[in-house]
């Protein structure tokens, strides 16, 4: 169990599972084994000696002292994932690990989503005798309104064309994507709506003191990362804005599923330059190893140094 202190905030990582090596090979097209081996600092935490990337599925719990906030909720147990079959019908002790970190599911005040892909909303709900019910019954499930509408349109068969013209892979016109996103809504979003727990907020919204959405579009249309600030210290939860630490060394490398690849790459290049050698603690949503670290200059470029 990894945890960090940022001012008065305590941040804990709750692991769902390491991603099986190979499942996401090819997701970042430029990250060929040879290219990955050209960034030797990625091994052993973020890549193996064969040049395959290593990934993780986990949530972050932010305890501000007055609120308990879960950022992204992984794949969940027993969910339908035809798009990535290895992530469907899982049976992981996620809630037991949450308890090990010191939190019961009833204690969670806010579930904060970076975006609504299947590996970020799964534990929104759990199976209760054949019915999907909110896992966190006392939480406000919070999403950026534009981001919610983008995914809703993909899930909603009738409304996929004009607004999503820029989509590359995660395009609702692709029947596999449409079907997956429909299942995401049915199993992981609608039960929270039915329970009256959904809050839609503007992009860049301040969630509570020291916890703010940061607009990082590119992976999805209105993707949000999360900035944490307490007592002069800062941390940043990436979501899929930085999908893998290799994109700190090579910000132009793009994920196959990105909605707008050029925008995604440009945002990352700016971010890496802006925060290199700063004290910003970067918490990666799919980073393996300790998942956290800092960006530094190295060899004419940038690298990620684990913390
Ligand atoms: Zn993801």
**Domain boundaries of the chain, sorted by first residue:** 3-233
Q: At residue 161, what are phi and psi to the nearest 5 degrees?
A: -85, -70
Hey, what are 187's tokens? 């199993």
pLDDT score at 201: 98
What integer pLDDT is reported at residue 155 of this predicted model? 86
Tell me how far the alpha carbon of residue 131 lies from the centroid of ligand 1, in angstroms: 25
C-alpha 20/C-alpha 33 separation (Å) is 17
Instruction: Give 20 Cα–ligand 1 centroid separation in angstroms.
Output: 14
Segment 119-156, tens digit of pLDDT: 999 999 999 999 999 999 999 999 999 999 988 988 88
Cβ neighbourhood burial of 84 (10 Å; 0-12, 13-18, 19+):
middle
User: Which CATH architecture is the domain 3-233 placed in?
Assistant: 4-Layer Sandwich (3.60)
Question: 295 C-alpha vs ligand 1 centroid, how far in Å?
Answer: 21
pLDDT band at residue 62 under the 50/70/90 scheme: very high
Could you give the percent of the chain with pLDDT greater than 70?
94
Q: How far is the CA of 96 from the centre of ligand 1 (A)?
A: 22
What is the whole-number distance in angstroms between the Cα of residue 231 and the centre of ligand 1?
30
Cα-to-centroid distance, 47 and ligand 1 (Å): 17
Separation of 161 CA from ligand 1 center, angstroms? 24
Helical pair 175-184 and 145-155, crossing angle rounded to 10 deg: 120
Distance between CA atoms of residues 69 and 157, nearest Å: 32
Those residues whose beta carbon sits under 5 angstroms from the ion ligand 1 are 119, 240
Centre of ligand 1 from the C-alpha of residue 119, in Å: 5
164 C-alpha to ligand 1 centroid (Å): 20
- Dump pLDDT digits (tens) for 267-289: 999 999 999 999 999 999 999 99
Residue 56 Cα to ligand 1 midpoint, Å, equals 9
Express as a percent the part of the chain with pLDDT over 90.
82
Cα of 259 from ligand 1 centre, angstroms: 13
Residue pair 241/153 in contact by the 8 Å Cβ criterion? no
> Reduced to 3 DSSP states, what percent helix, strand and coil does the chain have, rounded to the nearest 5?
25, 30, 45
150-175 pLDDT, tens digit each: 889 888 864 444 344 344 344 445 67
pTM of the model: 0.95
- Quote the ligand 1 centre to 169 CA distance (angstroms): 14
Say if strands 110-112 and 140-144 run parallel, antiparallel, or are unpaired: parallel
Cα–Cα distance measured from residue 128 to residue 281, given in angstroms and rounded to the nearest whole number: 37
CA of 116 to the centre of ligand 1 (A): 9
Among 19-33, 127-141, 198-212, 239-253, name the one with the lowest average pLDDT: 19-33
Give the pLDDT of residue 21. Answer: 93
Distance 57 CA to ligand 1 centre (A): 8
CA 38–ligand 1 middle distance (angstroms): 25
Token pair 């449409």 is found at: 178
- Ligand 1: centre distance to CA 239 (Å): 7
pLDDT on residue 162? 36
What distance in angstroms lies between residue 120's CA and the mean position of ligand 1's atoms? 6
Segment 181-194 mean pLDDT: 96
């Amino acid at each position: 169990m990894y945890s960090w202190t940022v001012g008065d905030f305590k941040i804990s990582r709750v692991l769902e599972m390491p991603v099986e090596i190979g499942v996401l090979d090819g997701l970042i097209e430029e990250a060929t084994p040879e290219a990955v081996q050209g960034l030797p600092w990625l091994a052993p935490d973020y890549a193996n000696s064969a040049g395959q990337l290593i990934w993780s599925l986990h949530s972050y719990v932010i305890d501000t002292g007055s609120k308990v906030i879960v950022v992204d909720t992984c794949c969940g147990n027993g969910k339908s994932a035809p798009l990535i079959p290895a992530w469907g019908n899982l049976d992981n002790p996620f809630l037991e690990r949450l308890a090990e970190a010191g939190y019961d599911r009833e204690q969670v005040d806010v579930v904060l989503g970076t975006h609504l892909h299947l590996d970020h909303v799964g534990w929104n709900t759990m199976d209760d005798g054949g019915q999907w019910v909110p896992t966190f019954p006392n939480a406000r499930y919070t999403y950026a309104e534009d981001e919610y509408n983008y995914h809703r349109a993909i899930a909603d068969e009738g409304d996929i064309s004009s607004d999503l013209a820029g989509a590359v892979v995660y395009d609702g016109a692709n029947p596999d994507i449409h079907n997956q996103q429909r299942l995401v809504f049915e199993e992981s979003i609608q039960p929270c709506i039915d329970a009256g727990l959904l809050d839609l907020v503007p992009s860049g919204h301040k969630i509570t003191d020291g916890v703010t959405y940061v607009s990082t579009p590119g992976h999805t249309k209105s993707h949000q990362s999360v900035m944490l600030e307490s007592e002069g210290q800062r941390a940043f939860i990436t979501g899929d804005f930085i999908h893998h630490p290799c994109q700190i060394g090579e910000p132009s490398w793009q994920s196959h599923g990105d909605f707008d690849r050029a925008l995604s790459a440009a945002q990352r290049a700016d971010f890496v330059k802006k925060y290199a050698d700063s004290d910003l603690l970067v918490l990666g949503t799919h980073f393996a190893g300790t998942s956290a670290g800092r960006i530094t200059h190295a060899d004419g470029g940038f690298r990620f140094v684990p913390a």
